[in-house]
Amino acid sequence: MEYVVAAIVIAVMVVVIAAFVAMGRRGGQATAPEQRQTSSTSTGGAAGTREEEGAAGRGGVVTDEHPPTGADDLGVVEEPPAPVVEKPAPAKGRMVRLRSRLARSQSTLGRGLLTLLSRDRIDEDTWEEIEDTLLSADVGVKPTQELIERLRTRVRVEGAASPEEAKAILRDELLTLVGTDLDRSLHVARQGGKPAVVLVVGVNGTGKTTTVGKLARVLVAEDKDVLLGAADTFRAAAVDQLATWGERVGVPTIRGPEGSDPASVAFEAVKAGIEQEADVVLIDTAGRLHTKTGLMDELGKIKRVVEKQAPVSEVLLVIDATTGQNGLIQARVFAEVVNVTGIVLTKLDSTAKGGIIVAVQRELGVPVKLVGLGEGADDLAPFEPTAFVDALLAD
């Protein structure tokens, strides 16, 4: 009997203790929301640098579902901190500032030519070596022949040149070859009360999306109101990548659902640009060089829908300078499909073959307007022939 009573007492005690423990747990959970830390998210995409992470962390969207009640009780609503927007470097004179990048990558061409031209006696073998140097720097056959012809004439007329004279002659003739009188300005002024529309085209991997992001910064540095259209809808990462570039300088990006029609995104971007009275709408397009007909259909449609609302002011073709002859073939195909108005030559910091500037301009009859000189945010420069040639011939 005693055992039975003891067992009942123990059982009751166990139940009571278990009930207390359970209540304690529930009470703890009830306080959890107040204890939860405020968290932030960023839309930071593929190009997440430490700088971006910092900016996103400071200006990210607050996602806490349970804000502290104290603020409401006092009638004070806490605003999330304003996003930190970067101030891009001025575009003017960028190429001079980035000249060391060019000098590093292009020294083979410039110095090679200078050494050959400074020889005491320039015989046929030397001229052949000069020709080989130009051809291997992708200058192209016809421009190379023209340059050699002009150099030969000057050396004949002006006599054997000292190294300084040789340098002056070469500088002159390279400038003529690159072209100092082409209109390299970007047409980005509002027209007829509508924003300028810039289509950026090119094969994937050439640096197209990066160029759109960097170009947005160039324009922001010039106090332009910019809007981005993420019409490269085939590469999911491209849309996020572009939006991240935009966020960094406070520029909005119009995007569609993944895999949506690029033309409809372009249409919406221009529509938003008109409504928001933007100065420039920059549209990143898909760069799949599948078939010429496919490309023509795609770019043709984008251009048509855009032009229903505003004229296209610039079509910039992005070419990767490191791809040499392949780049030229791509350029030819795009030029047949759209009316290219300017060339952006990227990755000029990673090749010694700067001669492609001459070749591509000749091929398309369109000027190089911008050059990419690195992966940094402000490593896109308006192309300046003098800075380029001086970098080629730098000591």
Binding site for ligand GDP (CB under 6 A): 202, 204-210, 238, 287, 346-347, 349-350, 372-375, 379
CB of 339 to ligand GDP, least distance (A): 20
Of residues 224 and 347, the one with the C-beta less far from ligand GDP: 347
Question: Is-contact 282 215, C-beta < 8 A?
Answer: yes
Of residues 171 and 288, the one with the C-beta less far from ligand GDP: 288
CB of 206 to ligand GDP, least distance (A): 5
CB of 386 to ligand GDP, least distance (A): 20
CB of 391 to ligand GDP, least distance (A): 15
Residues 6+ apart with CB under 8 A from 97: 89, 381
Going from the C-alpha of 73 to that of each of 66, 132, 295, 340, the distances in angstroms are 14, 80, 60, 61
Please report the beta strands in the chain, taking only residues with DSSP state E, as ranges in sequence order: 40-41, 61-62, 196-201, 226-231, 253-254, 280-285, 312-320, 342-346, 368-372, 380-382
In the complex, which residue's CB is closest to ligand GDP? Answer: 372
* Core vs surface per residue 283-312: b (16+ CB within 10 A) or e: bbbbbeeeeeeebeebbebbbebbeebbeb
Of residues 173 and 314, the one with the C-beta less far from ligand GDP: 314
User: How far is CA 149 from its chain centroid?
Assistant: 38
The length of the chain, given as a count of residues? 395
Residues 6+ apart with CB under 8 A from 381: 91, 94, 95, 97, 98, 370, 371, 373
Of residues 178 and 373, the one with the C-beta less far from ligand GDP: 373
Question: Is-contact 282 198, C-beta < 8 A?
Answer: yes
Of residues 194 and 288, the one with the C-beta less far from ligand GDP: 288
Of residues 207 and 246, the one with the C-beta less far from ligand GDP: 207
Of residues 116 and 381, the one with the C-beta less far from ligand GDP: 381
CB of 37 to ligand GDP, least distance (A): 34
CB of 155 to ligand GDP, least distance (A): 36
CB of 320 to ligand GDP, least distance (A): 8
Question: Is-contact 254 274, C-beta < 8 A?
Answer: no
CB of 98 to ligand GDP, least distance (A): 10
Residues 6+ apart with CB under 8 A from 173: 147, 150, 151, 154
**Any idea of the CA torsion for 20, 23, 27, 29, to the nearest 10 degrees?**
120
